[in-house]
Structure 1
Amino acid sequence: MPMLDDRTTPDPRIEPYALWSYDDSLTAWPAPRGEVADGPAGPATAAPARLRDATGLPACLPPAYIEVGQLDIFRNEDTAYATKLSRAGVPVEFHLHPGVPHEFDSIAFDSDVARRAIADRIRVLRSI
């Protein structure tokens, strides 16, 4: 699950492994949001991580499925978002895949970790 927080601080431990870079995110953020949503005063709808309090969302949200690679620049924001939703009572299934970067399932689609991730996605989709 990429790009939840436009305010992400680069992590120098992840940067050498990043297939999608912090610069890529800076370039991509204006595309869906437009210039109106830029800046710290932008609405939570501009970037999901801007949501300060997820209380009240459980009634209107389906369970969340969030997965991210340990070496993905989105790791910290995805982890924080999963925690925020969970604290508010939203059912969350979260997977942190060890030792893999962004798009690991496309790059090494036959690896054990990619097969597990794809099987989990299919399981979740079938349960809907």
Structure 2
Amino acid sequence: MKTKGIQKEIKEKVESIVSQFNEKTFKKNDCYYVARFNGKFLYLDRNDYGKIGPICRLTYNGKMNDWDFAIFKWSREIYDPDEWMFPGAKHIDGTVEGAMKAGLEAYPLSEGFGDLLSNMSKIFGFK
């Protein structure tokens, strides 16, 4: 059976949540989350000073407060739904906003993408 994608109304709600979070959280337009959709997945990427990188993937389960979470792991370049030992995991609550909060702790903002990669290497233990 083919998996249904995320409905247009849900995508619009997600875009609104992401936009409101960006306005509330980021002081400048240099950093912000970007939502993209593919099938039942919502990918949250973040633009950090002109460099866009993956943060996490959410799986839609039919309710706005019941998304499954998977952090992006640079060490293997995959979204890992089984990884729960990272800064920010406490924010994972099934919501899009919780996922963005977790992403900010897992991958802190930096003045450049090189600093972001350095922080990620410390978190996930790769060089």
TM norm structure 1 = 0.31
Q: Greater share of helix residues, 1 or 2?
A: 1
Q: Greater share of strand residues, 1 or 2?
A: 2
Larger RCO (CA under 8 A, 6+ residues apart): 1
Which protein shows a greater Rg? 1
